[in-house]
Structure formats: C-alpha cells, structure tokens
C-alpha cells in the first residue's frame, strides 16, 4: 500500500495525489537525471497509448529539479508530479528507477517492475498488459 502521497504538480502547487476510483493506475516512477528513464520514454508513451482506456496513468518524479525539462524532452502525455518534501520518506521505497507500478483502488500495489523496458522486464510488462512495446532507444 502506498498510502498518502503529497506531491507538487507541474505548476509547483502542493496537493495530495488521488488515484482513479474506476480503474487501476499505472504509476511510472522516475528521476529527471536518470538516463534509463530517458531511454525508456518511447516505450512508456506507447504503453500509455495502448492501455490508457483501461488504466489511469501518472508519472512520479523523485526530484523536482529538472522535471519540466525531462517532460518537455520525453513528451510523456499523462499527468506528472514531483514528490513533495512531506513525502520524502517514500524515496526509500523507490531506490532504483525507473519503476512501473500498477496500483489497485486505494493505492494497493498490484504489480511492480523495476528497470527500463528491456529483456525480462519488457516481456513481463507486455505479458501483463497483453500488448507489445518498442525496444529501448
């Protein structure tokens, strides 16, 4: 269970992150300085395109610095937030990035994959969502 997530939106406004009540949510956890997060952007966008009618999507950055630039470069088409200082203790939960989580209603973690979408991670994500994804750039 993720519990309460206090975040800053793209405008820097503090808010509590709410998850979709009518469907599960895919949470993509990243750091703007992470090279693997950048290389994975095309696959994440493709996953969104293929399954967003069935899943809500949100990106969660562990750092605010550089997030706007990362989003502009990557073209991630869904809501993105930065973890606020009040939720800093959650950073220890996400020691490696990128991470992709599927959250059930209420924020319960239903699935989690660590790493960019290559090799076994790519295969597991494709199998779970019933789709194919592009290879890493």
Residue 108 confidence (pLDDT): 86
Contact status, residue 130 vs residue 60, Cβ threshold 8 Å: no
What are the phi and psi torsion angles at 8 (to 5°)?
-115, 135
Contact status, residue 2 vs residue 109, Cβ threshold 8 Å: yes
pLDDT band at 105 (very low <50, low <70, confident <90, very high): confident
Rounded to an integer, the average pLDDT of 13-26 is: 86
6-129 to CATH, choices 3.40.30.10, 3.30.70.3270, 3.30.420.40, 3.30.70.360: 3.40.30.10
Bridge partners, residue 60, by sequence = 29, 81
pLDDT in tens, 62-96: 999 999 999 999 999 999 999 998 887 777 788 89
Residue 81 confidence (pLDDT): 96
What is the pTM (predicted TM-score) of this model? 0.94
pLDDT in tens, 39-60: 999 999 999 999 999 999 999 9
Contact status, residue 45 vs residue 7, Cβ threshold 8 Å: no
Q: How many helices (H) and strands (E) does the chain have?
A: 4, 7
**Domains in the chain: boundaries:** 6-129
């Amino acid at each position: 269970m993720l519990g309460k997530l206090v975040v800053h939106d793209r405008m820097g406004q503090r808010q509590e992150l709410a998850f979709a009540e009518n469907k599960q949510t895919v949470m993509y956890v990243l750091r703007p300085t992470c090279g693997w997060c950048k290389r994975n952007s095309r696959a994440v966008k493709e996953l969104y395109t293929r399954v967003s009618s069935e899943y809500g999507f949100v990106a969660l950055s562990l750092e605010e610095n550089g997030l706007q630039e990362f989003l502009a470069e990557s073209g991630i088409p869904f809501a993105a937030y930065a973890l606020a200082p009040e939720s800093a203790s959650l950073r220890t939960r996400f020691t490696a990035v990128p991470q992709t989580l599927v959250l059930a209603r209420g924020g319960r973690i239903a699935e989690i994959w660590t790493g960019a979408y290559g090799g076994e991670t790519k295969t597991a994500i494709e199998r779970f969502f019933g789709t194919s994804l592009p290879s890493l750039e």
